[in-house]
Amino acid sequence: MLAPDLRTQIFRLFYALILTASCLYATYGQSALDNERSEKPATDVVRYGIVLDNSGAFRLMLERAVRIVAEVVRKNEEGDQTFLMTFSDAGNIVVRQELTSNRAEMVDSVENVYAEVGRGSYLDAINASLAFMVEAEGSGAALLKSLIIVTDGEERDAAIRPDDVIIKAKANKIRLHFIVISAAKQTSKQVDRLARETDGKAVYPKTTEDFKSVSAEIAKEIRRAQSK
């Protein structure tokens, strides 16, 4: 059995060690923890635009396109920002809904899109949407930026070249994703290139199962970390 004085000394030494360890953590441990937190990337901020063909040439596919896009929006997470732009021809490219984090508001805007006279020009619409998104950077930088272009894949007399669209999208780290709804059996080489060069994705739903899964596929793509 230890003598009372020795027990007291051991207790005091043990207490001193605990006190020292606490002080060291307070000085260095918390600082290291703070540094670790500061080095972690910020929560991904997703900002994307829906570029929807509402031309007469696309009218037979528009209802299905609206359902797909509305479902993508319903998958938005808190803080995601979305805008809606429609195009019926080069002279009728319209912002239908400004950037918003309100899912219900955006879904309502999408579901109220109707067909208008025109033949559509998705390159001109993409160019206008890129300009809109770049200007919106003033309201806070987004880490993940995309455009979702819904079209039949047919380009009709665009005023801008595909190369210029690609350069502008890549310079601003905006990915181009395409949902191509068309009766054509072949894919569009131009659409595929625009998606590939900007680290985006082009999907061509054909079957009932394709249409059921495309919304989830695109919603996942806009959250994917950029690979280039």
Partner residues linked to 100 by β-bridges: 82
Whole-number pLDDT of residue 32: 45
Whole-number pLDDT of residue 24: 46
Whole-number pLDDT of residue 43: 54
Whole-number pLDDT of residue 33: 40
Whole-number pLDDT of residue 37: 38
Fold of 46-221: Rossmann fold (3.40.50)
Residue 189, H or E segment:
helix 189-197
Query: What distance in Å separates the CA atoms of residue 75 and residue 205, rounded to the nearest whole number?
Result: 19
Domain segments of the chain as ranges: 1-40, 46-221
Whole-number pLDDT of residue 42: 46
Give the number of other Cβ atoms within 10 Å of residue 42's Cβ: 7
Predicted TM-score (pTM) of the model is 0.79
Whole-number pLDDT of residue 141: 63
Which residue stretches of the chain have pLDDT < 50?
A: 24-25, 30-42
